[in-house]
Amino acid sequence: MLNDPVVTAAGTNVEAMGDERTRRRFLELAGVGAALTLAGCGGSNAETGTGTTTSTADASSTKTANEPSSTTSDPATMSTVFHFSAGTDEQKHAIANVSNLLGDGSVNLGDVALVANGAGIKLVSTAESKHVADLQGLLAKGVSVYACENSMAAFGLSRSDLVSGVQPVPSGVGQLTKLQAGQGYAYVKTP
């Protein structure tokens, strides 16, 4: 069973696609397409392949299913996790990305998290971060900030080196997986 070929809903044999990089890229794009379809961004009916419309006796009230309804409640609350693994030159960009999302009034935000790993671990270190005050501001606004303990060990950092409020986790990629797959967070890779 583990050696059965992976075949998509469209009948494409993913295993026959050649190298591992091509296969991963195909699966990544297929996942994005599925997510867009599930989010209603596909613009077509998955079963018939046609646009969806709702008709009534009055032609002036015809609208597509993707148009907002005047009686629809607020859009669903969305949670987002930012992944930062770049060096110190990109710290400001990471902080700005999170701040921009927090300030975007068009997004009905739930929880926001930032996971630092790799060289990005320096962002959450009191000695290495160029933006401690900005990071503390994000924490004060309710952003959960996580530090990868594997990266901490690789860069010789201990828990006492972390900005107050940053939560160490066994692995950054493990935390990203938990938040995305287990809790439905949207993923944003920040430089």
User: pLDDT value at position 61?
Assistant: 42
* Segments in the chain below pLDDT 70: 1-75
Residue pair 97/86 in contact (Cβ under 8 Å)? The answer is no
Residue pair 188/102 in contact (Cβ under 8 Å)? The answer is no
Closest C-alpha among 145, 141, 140 to residue 175: 145
User: pLDDT value at position 145?
Assistant: 98
Residue pair 162/123 in contact (Cβ under 8 Å)? The answer is no
pTM reported for the whole predicted model:
0.62
Residue pair 92/131 in contact (Cβ under 8 Å)? The answer is yes
Closest C-alpha among 160, 138, 157, 159 to residue 91: 138
